[in-house]
């Protein structure tokens, strides 16, 4: 028990955590999923097109730059002396452009702006090969394209040979970068544009899914609340419509079996009521004539007298049984009514004991007087039952205590016997429950405690059974001070 109770909060915490991470409710989930899919799709498409566009832009920029350099080198080279001197190098540099540098072995031309950015990697590449090399770098937040190329000399016999002259150029890529950023922005914009229609579409989709779900839920709620006529009209031919049809079928079958059960129950109750009713007529005759028998018993022979005595005893028992059955039938039919009047509870309990000659066999512990509105006859039935049981099944002394608070009046009946066996306790208020199959038959009808309990409940009260410490059964009747019939 305690272990489980400790485990519950942690499970709850996990569940709550999950709730905060993932939206609750089908509608919210559908919405989030739908919007995520749409926006991610749009973003992926826009990103990939922006990516390919920027790649193309960089490539074409590089190609254009390389072509320009190559063209300018090609145009000026024939006018240069070879091997070049400082002047030749400077001329070559001037021809190629402002942001360039030309080297030949240890000679360096006047360097243009930004040529200090040229990396060793580019130099090594240019020196080792005979092709144009490019590298992109970012220096102080500005993107640069570095271009390096060896100048190839074409011999008179048509062979090409490296001349040892190297041309380096740097090119500011800021414009290109800005263009690429533009692409990216427009991609993000595209994705953002997809958001409102995605939300709208998701709402519409969610609604079309959720309306039937809600209808089914409302129907289920009404069914649970006991309105077995509740049905939902199925729409369309999808799974939701199938679910609706299934729920309707379920309700139908529940309703049918409930109706059958209620009919059977009503029939059984009516039968019990009718039977006990019919028994009253012959019992009236018996009751009348056994009294005549009793009055004349003294003049009979011994065996006739004993037979007459038995007939009298059993007739009275039968009368009790039929009266109790009628009472139970009235409770079952809901036709039992309270006739409340202001009563002194203590006086009523004392009267109950006095009329049955129990005052000298029962110890009554009670205050002077407790005034309460209740049904005097029904209180008498309850007290007579409890005390009668204690006297029959318990061991003296039997004690009746009447206590009161500002909310309740307690009437407690205890005996000093071994108490009620634990296995019997749950059933003591059941109809016709026999605590022991081999028990000697008692004058009771087997309905006494069941009727007492119903009478207590009719007053808005309660009747409970348990054992006191040290043995002895205890029955406690609790009546509310302000009786509100249930």
Partner 1 sequence: MATLLLIEDDPLVRRGFQLALSRHGHDVRTADSGEEGLREFHSARPDLVVLDLMLPGIDGFQVCRRIRAVGDVPVIMLTAMGDDFDVVGGLAAGADDYVVKPAQPSVLDARIRAVLRRSAGHDGVRVHRDLHIDTTALTVSLHGRPVPLSPTELRLLLTLSRAPGRVFSRQLLLEEVWEHDYLGDSRLVDNCVQRLRAKIEDVPAAPEYIQTVRGFGYRFGPV
Stretch in the footprint of partner 1 (CB under 8 A) among 182-190, 233-241, 375-383, 425-433: 375-383
Output helix, strand, coil percentages for the chain, rounded to the nearest 5: 60, 15, 25
Say how far residue 464 (Cα) sits from the centre of its chain: 35
**Interatomic CA distance for residues 450 and 433, integer angstroms:** 10
Stretch in the footprint of partner 1 (CB under 8 A) among 10-18, 126-134, 147-155, 371-379: 371-379
Q: Which of residues 162-191 bind partner 1 (CB under 8 A)?
A: none
Q: Decide: is 376 part of the binding site for partner 1 (CB under 8 A).
A: yes
Q: Shortest CA distance to 53 belongs to which of 187, 180, 192? A: 180
Q: Which of residues 14-33 bind partner 1 (CB under 8 A)?
A: none
The residues, ordered by sequence, that sit 6+ positions from 331 with a Cβ below 8 Å of its Cβ are 451, 454, 458
> Do the beta carbons of residue 176 and residue 57 sit within 8 Å?
yes
Among 286, 374, 411, 463, binds partner 1 (CB under 8 A): 286
Nearest approach, Cβ of 271 to partner 1 (angstroms)? 17
Nearest approach, Cβ of 400 to partner 1 (angstroms)? 18
Among 131, 211, 217, 377, binds partner 1 (CB under 8 A): 377
Nearest approach, Cβ of 432 to partner 1 (angstroms)? 21
Nearest approach, Cβ of 249 to partner 1 (angstroms)? 42
Say how far residue 176 (Cα) sits from the centre of its chain: 56
Q: Decide: is 270 part of the binding site for partner 1 (CB under 8 A).
A: no
Q: Shortest CA distance to 173 belongs to which of 111, 99, 89? A: 99
Q: Which of residues 292-331 bind partner 1 (CB under 8 A)?
A: 292, 295, 319, 322-323, 326, 330
Stretch in the footprint of partner 1 (CB under 8 A) among 106-114, 290-298, 413-421, 468-476: 290-298
Nearest approach, Cβ of 327 to partner 1 (angstroms)? 9
Nearest approach, Cβ of 390 to partner 1 (angstroms)? 21
**Interatomic CA distance for residues 294 and 178, integer angstroms:** 124
Q: Which of residues 379-398 bind partner 1 (CB under 8 A)?
A: 380
Q: Which of residues 146-165 bind partner 1 (CB under 8 A)?
A: none
> Do the beta carbons of residue 99 and residue 118 sit within 8 Å?
no
Q: Shortest CA distance to 276 belongs to which of 324, 228, 244? A: 324
Nearest approach, Cβ of 317 to partner 1 (angstroms)? 12
Q: Decide: is 285 part of the binding site for partner 1 (CB under 8 A).
A: yes
Query: DSSP 3-state assignment of 212?
Result: helix
Q: Give the Å distances, CA to CA, from 481 to 140, 373, 476, 485.
A: 90, 8, 15, 12
Tokens read off for 104? 């030949």
**Interatomic CA distance for residues 486 and 483, integer angstroms:** 9
Return the DSSP state at 228: T
Among 181, 291, 306, 466, binds partner 1 (CB under 8 A): 291
Q: Decide: is 342 part of the binding site for partner 1 (CB under 8 A).
A: yes
Q: Decide: is 277 part of the binding site for partner 1 (CB under 8 A).
A: yes
Nearest approach, Cβ of 277 to partner 1 (angstroms)? 7
Nearest approach, Cβ of 281 to partner 1 (angstroms)? 5
Q: Decide: is 351 part of the binding site for partner 1 (CB under 8 A).
A: yes
Q: Decide: is 8 part of the binding site for partner 1 (CB under 8 A).
A: no
For 155-164, letters b (16+ CB in 10 Å) and e give: eeeeeeeebb
Angle at 285 between CA 283 and CA 286, to 5 degrees: 60
> Do the beta carbons of residue 485 and residue 338 sit within 8 Å?
yes
The residues, ordered by sequence, that sit 6+ positions from 41 with a Cβ below 8 Å of its Cβ are 194
Nearest approach, Cβ of 289 to partner 1 (angstroms)? 5
Q: Which is nearer to partner 1, 140 or 369 (CB)?
A: 369
Size of the residue set binding partner 1 (CB under 8 A): 30
Can you list the alpha helix ranges (DSSP code H) found in 297-431?
A: 302-333, 345-355, 376-393
Q: Shortest CA distance to 239 belongs to which of 207, 221, 213? A: 213
Q: Decide: is 457 part of the binding site for partner 1 (CB under 8 A).
A: no
Can you list the alpha helix ranges (DSSP code H) found in 336-414?
A: 345-355, 376-393
Among 305, 373, 393, 431, binds partner 1 (CB under 8 A): 373
Nearest approach, Cβ of 384 to partner 1 (angstroms)? 10
Q: Decide: is 339 part of the binding site for partner 1 (CB under 8 A).
A: yes
| Residues at the contact surface with partner 1, assessed by CB under 8 A | 277, 280-289, 291-292, 295, 319, 322-323, 326, 330, 335, 337, 339, 341-342, 351, 355, 373, 376-377, 380
């Amino acid at each position: 028990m305690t272990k489980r109770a400790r485990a519950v909060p942690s499970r709850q915490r996990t569940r709550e955590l999950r709730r905060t991470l993932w939206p609750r409710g089908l509608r919210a989930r559908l919405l989030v999923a739908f919007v995520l899919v749409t926006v991610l799709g749009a973003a992926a498409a826009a990103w990939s097109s922006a990516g390919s566009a920027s790649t193309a832009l960089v490539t074409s920029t590089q190609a254009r730059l390389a072509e320009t350099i190559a063209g300018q080198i090609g145009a000026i080279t024939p006018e240069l002396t070879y091997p070049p001197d400082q002047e030749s190098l400077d001329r070559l540099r001037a021809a190629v452009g402002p942001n360039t540098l030309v080297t030949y072995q240890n000679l360096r031309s006047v360097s243009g702006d930004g040529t200090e950015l040229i990396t060793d990697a580019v130099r090594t590449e240019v020196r080792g090969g005979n092709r144009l090399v490019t590298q992109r770098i970012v220096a102080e937040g500005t993107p640069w394209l570095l271009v390096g190329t060896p100048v190839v000399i074409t011999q008179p016999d048509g062979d090409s040979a490296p001349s040892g002259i190297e041309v380096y150029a740097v090119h500011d890529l800021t414009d290109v970068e800005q263009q690429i950023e533009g692409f990216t922005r427009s991609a993000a914009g595209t994705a953002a544009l997809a958001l409102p229609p995605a939300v709208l579409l998701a709402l519409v989709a969610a609604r079309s899914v959720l309306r039937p779900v809600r209808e089914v839920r409302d129907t289920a709620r009404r069914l649970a609340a006991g309105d077995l006529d509740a049905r939902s009209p199925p729409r369309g031919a999808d799974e939701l419509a199938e679910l609706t049809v299934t729920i309707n079928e379920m309700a139908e079958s529940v309703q049918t079996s409930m109706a059958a059960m209620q009919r059977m129950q009503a029939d059984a109750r009516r039968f019990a009521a009718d039977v006990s009713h019919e028994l009253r007529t012959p019992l009236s005759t018996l009751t009348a004539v056994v009294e005549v028998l009793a009055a004349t018993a003294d003049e009979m022979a011994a065996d006739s007298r004993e037979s007459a005595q038995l007939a009298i005893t059993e007739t009275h028992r039968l009368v009790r049984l039929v009266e109790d059955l009628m009472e139970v039938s009235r409770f079952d039919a809901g036709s039992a009514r309270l006739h409340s009047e202001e009563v002194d509870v203590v006086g009523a309990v004392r009267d109950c004991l006095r009329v049955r000659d129990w005052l000298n066999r029962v110890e009554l512990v009670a205050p002077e007087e407790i005034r309460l509105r209740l049904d005097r006859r029904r209180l008498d039935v309850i007290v007579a039952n409890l005390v009668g049981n204690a006297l029959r099944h318990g061991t003296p002394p039997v004690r009746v205590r009447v206590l009161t608070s500002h909310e309740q009046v307690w009437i407690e009946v205890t005996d000093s016997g071994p108490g009620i066996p634990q296995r019997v306790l749950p059933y003591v208020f059941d109809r016709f429950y026999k605590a022991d199959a081999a028990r000697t038959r008692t004058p009771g009808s087997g309905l006494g405690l069941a009727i007492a309990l119903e009478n207590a409940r009719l007053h808005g009260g309660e009747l409970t059974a348990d054992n006191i410490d040290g043995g002895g059964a205890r029955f406690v009747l609790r009546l509310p001070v302000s009786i509100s019939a249930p």
